[in-house]
Structure 1
Amino acid sequence: MSKLTVQLKGSLLCIALSISVSGCATDRSLSPPPDGEKVTFTIKAPAELKPYAMRVMYRSAKCQRVSHDASGRPEMLDGHSSFETVFQRGQPENMYKATLFVNGGGPCEWRLSNVMFGVTYRDPSRFGENVLVGGGGGVIVVFDHNNPQLRVGGAVRVEGSQLRIVKDYYLWVNERYTGGYVKRASLSGYGSGYLTYEARQARNVYFEPMFHPEFVVTSVAPKKHAVGDFIKFFYPDGTVESDPEGRPNFKKMQEIRLRAEAKK
């Protein structure tokens, strides 16, 4: 085998690795231009809630990766780079901000693809010792034509540079026995826990969870798996319901609150 052939094979191997893994000679780091376009995220959260870390994904059509379809055939997909960043508390104290570059730069020419962020209940210990923080207050924003890192339900398409999200949330204290006892303090809102938006031109994203702490729904899961035995939900108006979907009835919670507020 000639030296040229060996060098050529080595170069092809390097190219293949740079596509499928992390690259031989390709620098896959992000290097956004300092004066580049940015997206600003703002959360206005009440004292009972706090933001959790934002999960960020950039994609690159230049530094692709190899995947395989259901038949095992290789296919090229955009490469991706993920990391977490935290919201910074500002003034007033209930405002939190984070900023991301649209153009991630670098040799791979990264572009902002999607983000996941949200809020959780701040102090679950008020409901007992070893009570865990649950989910429920999440937002997904997609900035390109790719699927987000987490696909939950359908997406709302939003045009323009402004994305404003103002939604109602209730406290949901849930107990589970199968697989070990767990008690969580979660947030109950519209949908399955994540609100998803396709907002490719959005440059200002504002999220305000309207939390109603005086209206609490609790639930208890069956201690054993049994056909037809579902989670029981105890609503603040005294009603008890079983639900095969395993989530509180958000519409019912809205009606209970609105009736109570109308009586004041």
Structure 2
Amino acid sequence: MKTPVIDLWLCSLSNLNDQPNKVSQLKKRLTADEITKVERYRMPSSQTQALYVRNYLRAILSRYACLSPEEWRFEYGEKGKPSLIEKQQIETGLNFNISHSKEHLLIAVCQKEGKQVQLGVDIEHARSSTNIDSIMKHCFSDTELTDLLELSKEEQRERFFDLWALKESYIKATGKGLATSLRSFSFDFSNLTEQTLPLHASDFQPNLQDEIRLHGGIRVYAGVDLRVAEQSDISTTWQCSLGRLDDQYRFAVTLGGVSLPMQFEMKVFPPSQLLV
């Protein structure tokens, strides 16, 4: 069995070309249903962003298979998780998940033959205006709260957004979304591993670092009120990693259904390549 490789594609959502001819070209690659969803956004800037998100995904998927961007077809789970239609998924082995925050879009892609894997990704902007105290008690387990309160205020804020990204990536991977209580599972950081991934952001995102810090070895446990040592360990089927783009942005990736440790590659996709 091959070690699963997760390609993390970083795409820019800033300074998007919204000229009518460009918008018209990008819409030609979408289905009528997708165009309807894009046009539901009230703000023109939000419509433009949604249009680019869908086109980025199609263009990136075409890097892995002999299908043009306009040929991809998608279906949606009970809670709205997107995936390829069964025929295309079986033929290509492609699994994906997407997340965006402000000017960054992150698309995770795993190509694996056979059984479909469970993949979730989330990118978060650490907003200084967020009142974390009012959120923690409702969204974090007792174990996580206890560990948080042992940290300094500055460290609490950093861990808060780390946990938030991890939780979002996990519930997206399961496909259950917020039907899963965020307090019903915990993350354990006691066995962290660290690696750096090169990122060649070229000239379209010059403020990013040349290397991305990535932490693995994060374990997820089931149970609300139990200490980690007493909880039912489900980490044998779920792998979680946490990365930082810079001081403001972090991302989390969760993979389920694969026993071998996942590997990562960071990639960038400039807007100029969308219609190539």
What range is the shorter-chain TM-score in?
under 0.3
Q: Choose 1 or 2 for highest CA Rg.
A: 1
Task: Give me the TM-score of the superposition, normalised by structure 2.
Answer: 0.21
The structure in which a higher percent of residues are helix is 2
Task: Give me the TM-score of the superposition, normalised by structure 1.
Answer: 0.21
The structure in which a higher percent of residues are strand is 1
